[in-house]
Amino acid sequence: MAIDVGEVKRRLQTLLNDSNLVNDYIRQFGPTIDIKHIKTIKEARTKSLFTGDAGSGNDPIFEIKVTCPVCGRTDLSCYELRAKSQQIIKNKFLVPCYEGASGYRTVDYSFLAVTVCPRCLFASPDKKDWARADGDDKSQMPANVIMTLQEKIGERKAILKSVIDPEGYFKRPRTADSAIATYKLAMARAHVEAFYEQPYALYKLGAYSLRIAKISKDSGNDNRELLREALGYYEEAFRTSNCPSEEIEMQVIYSIVALNLKLDDPKKANSFLGVFNNLHNERANEMKDNPKLNLIIIDKWNDKAKLLWEDRERADLFKEE
C-alpha cells in the first residue's frame, strides 16, 4: 500500500505544530510516524533552543562592543541580530518568535537580546542604555537612575545566587536559566526606572516578565504566575499612563485583554475591550475639531483584541503561549 506522504505531514503538523520540525522529521526518519522519533525531534529542538541556535545556515548574530554606564567597564559583548536574517512572528502576548530566513539559521534572539555587565550586573536589551566602546554613542540613562543602580549592585548579585562566574554565564550560547537571569537583572534596572517614574518602565517590566514566561514554558514549566506578574505590570502601566506612545499604550491594553483571557478572567478582559470602545469614541469626537487626528492605531489594536474575544472558547487559542 502506497504511503500518503501528505497525510503523514498533516498528522505530524498536528503533533509537532511546527512545519520546520515536520520537514526535519521527514528528512531524518522518512514518511512514517513513530512516537519515539517524535520525542527525539522535540528534544533536539528544545536543546537547540537552550543554546540559542537551531538548524544549519549562516550565523545571524554579530557582536558590537559597549561600555557599561554604571561601572564604566569597557569591551562588553552586545549580541546584535542581522537585519532580515529572521522571520519574526509575535505570539498572542506579542513576544517575538524567530525562524531563520535568507540563508541564516534560526536563533531565538530572546536568549541573547539582553546585554549584561558581568562586573556590576547592569542589564538591558535597549542599545541606547549602553555607551558604544568606540565613543560614537553615549548612554541615555538618566543620572539619578545610574546613581541608584550603583548603590544596588548587591541586590543584583543576590539575583544570581550561586553563580560564581558571571563572565562565562552570560556568554553565548546561553542556557534557559542564564537567559532568564538576564531578564531578571533587566527587571532590577527597570524597577529603579519605575521608582523615578521614567516613561515605559512598567511596560518594560511587563514585557520582560512575558519573555521569562515564554522561556519557562518552552522549558516545560508552568508559567501562569509569570503571566499574572506581567498582567500586574501592564495594568499599572495603564493606570499611571506610563506609555507616552499611543502605539505602545494600545499594545498594553491589548495585552491586558489577552492575559485576562489566558488567566480565565473573561469579565475583566471584556471590561478592557470597553476601554478600546471608549477611546475610539473620544477620538472620534476630537476629530470633529482636529481633522489631523485619526483612529488607525486605536482601531488596529481594538480589532486584534476583538478577534481574541471572539475565539475565547477555542481550547487551542493560547496553545503556544
Note whether 41 and 56 are same-domain residues.
no
Predicted local confidence at residue 2, as pLDDT: 57
Is 210 within a domain?
A: no
Q: What is the mean pLDDT of residues 295-309?
A: 97
- 26 within a domain of the structure (yes/no): yes
Q: Label residue 232 exposed, middle or buried (CB < 10 Å: 0-12, 13-18, 19+).
A: middle
Q: Which of 200, 219, 235 is the last residue of a domain?
A: 200
Stretch (H or E) spanning 269: helix 266-289
Nearest to 308 by CA among 254, 263, 265: 254
pLDDT of residue 50: 47
In angstroms, rounded to a whole number, what is the distance separating the alpha carbons of residues 188 and 205? 9
Q: How far is CA 267 from CA 220, 261, 305, in A?
A: 29, 9, 14
As a whole number of angstroms, the distance between CA 67 and CA 132 comes to 6
Residue 255 counted as domain residue: no
Q: Residue 252: pLDDT band by 50, 70, 90 thresholds?
A: very high
From the CB of residue 227, how many other CB atoms can be counted at a distance below 10 Å? 25
Claim to verify: residue 92 and residue 191 sit in the same structural domain:
yes
In a shared domain, residues 62 and 130: yes
Residue 7's pLDDT band, with cuts at 50, 70 and 90, is confident
Q: CB–CB of 95/110 below 8 Å?
A: yes
d(CA 185, CA 277) in angstroms, rounded, equals 37
Domain membership of residue 226 (yes or no) is no
Residues 59, 155 share a domain = yes
The stretch 22-49 carries a mean pLDDT of: 70
Please tell me the predicted confidence (pLDDT) of residue 16. 77
What are the CA-CA distances from residue 161 to residues 157, 165, 166, 181 (Å)? 7, 11, 11, 10
36 lies in the same domain as 149: no
- Residue 10 domain-assigned (yes or no): yes
Do 99 and 27 lie in a common domain? no
For residues 34 and 112, state if they share a domain: no
Q: Are 37 and 73 within one domain?
A: no
pLDDT of residue 249 exceeding 90: yes
- Res 280 pLDDT > 80: yes
7 is a domain residue = yes
Domain boundary among 200, 217, 248: 200
Query: Do 39 and 65 sit in the same domain of this protein?
Result: no
Among the three residues 173, 200, 227, which one is the final residue of a domain in this structure?
200
> Cβ distance 86 to 106 under 8 Å?
yes
What letter represents residue 311's amino acid?
D
Q: Answer yes or no: are the C-beta atoms of 305 and 262 closer than 8 Å.
A: no
At 158-195, the pLDDT tens digits run 999 889 999 999 999 999 999 999 999 999 999 999 99
List, for residues 86-110, the tens digit of each pLDDT value: 999 999 999 999 999 999 999 999 9
Q: Which of the four pLDDT bands, split at 50, 70 and 90, describes residue 265?
A: very high
Q: Tell me what percent of the residues of the chain surpass a pLDDT of 90.
A: 76
Question: With 60 as the cut, is the pLDDT of residue 46 above it?
Answer: no
Q: What is the pLDDT of residue 254?
A: 98
- What does the block give as the cell for 46? 528544545
**Within a domain: 68:** yes
Average pLDDT, the chain: 91
In this predicted structure, what is the pLDDT of residue 134?
Answer: 73
Do residues 182 and 68 both lie within one domain? yes
Using the CB atoms, write b or e for 197-213: b if 16+ within 10 Å.
ebebbbbbbbbbbbbbb
Structural domain containing residue 42: 1-47
Read off the pLDDT of each residue in 233-241 and give the average, rounded to a whole number.
98
The predicted pLDDT at position 209 comes to 98
Query: Using one digit for the tens of pLDDT, what is the confidence trace for 143-157?
Result: 999 999 999 999 999
Residues 6+ apart with CB under 8 A from 35: none
Our count of domains for the chain comes to 2
pLDDT at 73: 95
Least confident of 55-69, 267-281, 297-311: 55-69
**Do 80 and 27 share a domain, yes or no?**
no
Is residue 298 a part of any domain in this protein? no
Q: What is the pTM of this model?
A: 0.83
| Res 133: pLDDT | 73
129 and 111 assigned to the same domain: yes
